Amino acid sequence: MDLGKYTRKLGTEALMPHILNLPLKEIGADTETEGFNSWLDKVVGFSIYIPEENTAYYFPVNHLNGVEHNIPPEVARNFLDELYHRIEVAWWYNMEFDTDFVEDYFDQNWDSKSKDAMAVVWNQDVNVRMPGLKDSMKKYFDYDMMTFDEVTGGAPFAYLDPSGEKALNYATDDAYAAHYLGHGFDGNKFVRPFITMMDMETVKVTRMMKRQGIPVDKENLDKRIASQKIIVDKLFSEIQIHAGFPIKPNSPAQVAQVMVRLGMADLLPRTEKGNLSTKKDVLAQHRDKHPFIRSLTDYRVASKNLKAYYEGMKRSLVGEKIHIKYFPYLVPTGRVSAGSEKEGKTYAATFGIQSSPKSKSHIWSCIDTTQVDAGKVIEMYPETSRQVLDWIMVPFAPDQVGEHFNCLAIEGVKPGGFREMFIPYEGEIYGHFDYGGEELRIAASLSHEPVWIQAFNEGKDIHEQVARRIFGDEYNMDLRKLIKILNFALLYGGTWFNVMKAINLSGIRIVTKEEAQDFVYKYERALPILYKWKAEEIAKAHRCGYIYTYFGRQRSLRRWLKSTNRREVAFGERSAINSQVQGTAGDILRIALNRLVRDKETFTKVNPRARMLSIVHDEINFSLRKETIIESITSIGSAMNFDIKGFPVQMKTSLELGTSWGNLFPFYFDGRKLIPETKGFDAAEAELSLNDLEIEEDLLAEEYA
């Protein structure tokens, strides 16, 4: 069959019986819409391509010109319902967009029979983010398709007469191309079929989460916005006082001028243009050297958190929920990205949930309410207590409440951070499942580094074990934290310079170039198998031009490895390792999502035991019904903790339960009940991070409110 040689017809009510009587199997499908918001905008029309007769039909529904051709919405709805029950597969391109409109306008869910041709195309070259339909047809098959502006001149599609040649060709071409691309490359066989099919199913899961939404504590959000504004205003005033004259805190030139005036210009490096650098990581290293720097760094964090997150969440509210848009075809490693939409484009949130700020860990008192009257505890600590199942958490050390109750020490965060705005459904528990240490577990399994494998399989702290191997009797908690930095920085190709910068920013200590180089040398000697594997994989990438994740997702690196630019080659070599580790982690999460939704009892749409709320990096968050929480946790754990054949170190999830994403506490299941995990609170791990997305919000609130 010649590419593009198919019949185009304007769909009418009279043609519907003919189509439904065909021996239908696979179709191509597409929608034309008024806009991008399926909750507000109408469907203008829809197209189907039927390969059995090599014909594509466009059915207009809401055109403003040529209205005599419009199909009544109820007739179109009945036709689509009958069509759905007769076909085996519907191919869409960017399935999420079209099936959102089909569900919201025609009240039909096509997920079970839908496949996304974008998944097929993206897996040809994952470096192309969200590949476009028309670009892909041109790139792979040299087939030219008209653009929207060429057809409409920039006007809405609804203004076109659907019987016109341009409108008909444009609409039917999309359905035809979706089927052509989706039906596969290389003789109708998918390239990397397991990965491609998994990606198609992942889109359905993330679409479900987006549509369902996450409940938000609106009252708390309003209070936090007000308190954050007070913090920002006071910090702004402090900056003006310390500077000695009015300045704009986000102006690099004015900040540099103040640093010169204060005699601290020598603390700042020069940019390529010779200007003083006032970037956040530069100033963070000197935060405690002058009140001006401290106020400025805190202001930048607080103002960003206020505008991007608190006010961003307020703008994104739909009723009492926010809706997160996910991008499964965006990140070249295969990680599922949770992005932000432009305000007003759709109903999805305008802020990035994956970078939302965290709060510092605190010691709480954990009191068993099966032994103590819960009302008595809440009466004594009405503003701070948090009840989780049969336990009440009070944010005070055990010796402070021990005179009243027998209690355990448990790690948690103090109420008041941004993540506390994310709450479960009414009467339910917030559940947080995280693949702990996933990247290092994957790297241990891929490299077969015995030091790491032994540490993981014996349940030991991997950072402590490496630190003791390097430093012996000199080991202390600061050295453990230092090795934690090295474990991640050096795995992904960091140099002594990256190590020095990370350590100096961490606040652990200040190291020189020579000390950083010595750390890297000792680290390499301590983990020789890891370094041998890295060298072999980089050499292999140079020979082949691409890498694979453990599950077979391919990424081409030729563009960088064949470059004459040293920096681009270095990026390619880092990616040879990063893409394998991060990509395998992304694949594991996608497999887990697919396994989770197969559990129809737990995730049925009617009265579910558990509702998936969000994906953030290596974690999945849920709203869990109290009365079936044991069954849900068992089911979720079984789906996420699957054996990976050939891995000497298996993945392991940790469980946290609480009243919100910002009030979570570690639990373990003893076979009978859920018990708070009280072991090993690490005060050193809870120290303030200088990263502006992990600033301790409650500390700022206490100091400036």
Q: How sure is the predictor about 190, in pLDDT bands with cuts at 50, 70 and 90?
A: low
- How do residues 598-611 score in pLDDT, each as one tens digit? 866 666 655 578 89
pLDDT band at 529 (very low <50, low <70, confident <90, very high): very high
Strands 89-92 and 55-60: unpaired
- Bridging pattern class, strands 214-215 and 7-10: unpaired
- 139-147 contact pairs (CB < 8 A, 24+): 140/181, 140/185, 141/3, 141/180, 143/3, 143/4, 143/177, 145/170, 145/173, 145/174, 145/177, 146/170, 146/173
Bigger pLDDT: 3 vs 702: 3
The answer to whether residues 77 and 106 touch, using CB atoms and an 8 Å cutoff, is: yes
pLDDT at residue number 489: 86
pLDDT at 702: 37
Q: Domain boundaries in the chain?
A: 7-191, 442-567
Q: CA dist 90 to 110, 125, 176, 309, Å?
A: 8, 23, 11, 38
Determine which of 16-25, 35-44, 361-370 has the lowest per-residue pLDDT on average.
361-370
**Cα distances (angstroms) measured from residue 410 to each of 177, 363, 677:** 56, 6, 7
- Asked if pLDDT for residue 1 goes beyond 80, the answer is no
DSSP class per residue in 497-530: HHHHHHHHHHTS----HHHHHHHHHHHHHH-HHH
- In 516-574, the DSSP E strands lie at 546-548, 554-556
Q: What is the mean pLDDT of residues 479-490?
A: 88
Mean pLDDT, rounded, for 346-367 = 85
Report whether pLDDT(60) > 90. yes
What is the maximum alpha-carbon separation in the chain?
A: 86
Provide the pLDDT for residue 692.
30
- The pair of structure tokens assigned to 673 is 């009940």
Domain 7-191 top-level CATH class: alpha beta
The CATH number fitting domain 442-567, selected from 3.40.50.150, 1.10.150.20, 3.40.50.300, 1.10.3720.10: 1.10.150.20
What is the percentage of the chain residues whose pLDDT exceeds 70?
Answer: 93
Give the pTM: 0.89
| Coil, helix or strand at residue 238 | helix
Query: What's the pLDDT tens digit per position in 301-339?
Result: 999 999 999 999 999 999 999 999 999 999 999 999 987
Mean pLDDT for 656-679 is: 87
Kindly state the tokens that stand for 477. Answer: 């908690």
- Residue with more model confidence, 191 or 358: 358
pLDDT beyond 70 at 539: yes
Rg of the chain over Cα atoms, rounded to whole angstroms, equals 28
CA distance 590 to 194: 11
What is the pLDDT averaged over residues 217-230? Answer: 94
Tell me the one-letter amino acid at 52.
Answer: E
Amino acid at residue number 180: Y
- Residue 77: its H or E element: helix 73-86
Of 79, 72, 20, 85, which is closest to residue 50 (Cα–Cα)? 20
Nearest partner of 686 among 676, 678, 696, 677, judged by Cα: 696
The pLDDT of 279-283, averaged and rounded, is: 84
Helices and strands, number each (H, E), in the chain:
27, 22
Among 656, 701, 692, 697, smallest CA distance to 674 is for: 656
| pLDDT above 80 for 32 | yes
- Summarize the confidence of residues 142-159 as an average pLDDT: 92
Asked if residue 597 has pLDDT above 90, the reply is no
Look at 414 and 33; give whichever has higher pLDDT: 33
pLDDT at 284: 82
Query: Which amino acid belongs to residue 447?
Result: S
- pLDDT mean across residues, the chain: 88
pLDDT tier for residue 482 given thresholds of 50, 70 and 90: confident
Give the model's confidence band at 275: pLDDT under 50 very low, under 70 low, under 90 confident, else very high: confident
Could you tell me the pLDDT band of residue 344, with boundaries at 50, 70 and 90? low
- Count CB-CB contacts under 10 A for residue 537: 18
Average confidence (pLDDT) over 558-568? 94
Contact 592, 639 (CB under 8 A): yes
Parallel, antiparallel, or unpaired for β 26-33 and 89-92? parallel
Comparing CA positions, the residue from 661, 658, 655 lying closest to residue 677 is 655
CB 123 within 8 A of CB 196: yes
Considering only CA atoms, which of 98, 231, 349, 124 is closest in space to residue 701?
231
Cβ(35)–Cβ(157) below 8 Å: no
Instruction: Report H helices in 357-434.
Output: 374-380, 398-401
Residues 107, 109, 114, 117, CA torsion sign: positive
- Check residues 135 and 362 and name the one with the higher pLDDT: 135
CA distance 391 to 676: 8
Average pLDDT over residues 513-533: 92
- Name the least confident of 544-548, 605-609, 622-626: 605-609
Q: Which helix (H) or strand (E) holds 91?
A: strand 89-92
How much is the pLDDT for 345? 75
Stretch 453-481: mean pLDDT, rounded?
Answer: 90
d(CA 580, CA 589): 14
CB 390 within 8 A of CB 676: no
Q: Which pLDDT score is estimated for 501?
A: 83
Residues 6+ apart with CB under 8 A from 643: 650
Give, to the nearest 10 degrees, the angle between helix 95-106 and helix 73-86. 120
Q: Do domains 7-191 and 442-567 have the same CATH topology?
A: no
pLDDT band at 697 (very low <50, low <70, confident <90, very high): very low
Would you list the DSSP string of 427-478?
A: TEEEEEEEETTHHHHHHHHHHT-HHHHHHHHTT--HHHHHHHHHHGGG--HH
The upper half-sphere exposure of residue 568, i.e. CA atoms within 13 Å in the direction of its Cβ, equals: 9
pLDDT given for residue 350 in this prediction: 81
pLDDT of 700 > 60? The answer is: no
Query: Hunting for tokens 């749409």 — which residue is that?
Result: 605
Is the four-CA dihedral 524, 528, 529, 533 of positive or negative sign? positive
> Pairing between strand 391-394 and 386-388?
antiparallel
User: What is the per-residue pLDDT for 665?
Assistant: 93
Res. 185: pLDDT tops 70: no
Of residues 189 and 378, which shows the higher confidence score?
378
pLDDT reading at 187 higher than 80: no
Instruction: Return d(Cα 335, Cα 331) in angstroms, integer.
Output: 6
Residues 6+ apart with CB under 8 A from 506: 481, 482, 485, 690
pLDDT band of residue 540 (cuts 50, 70, 90) is very high
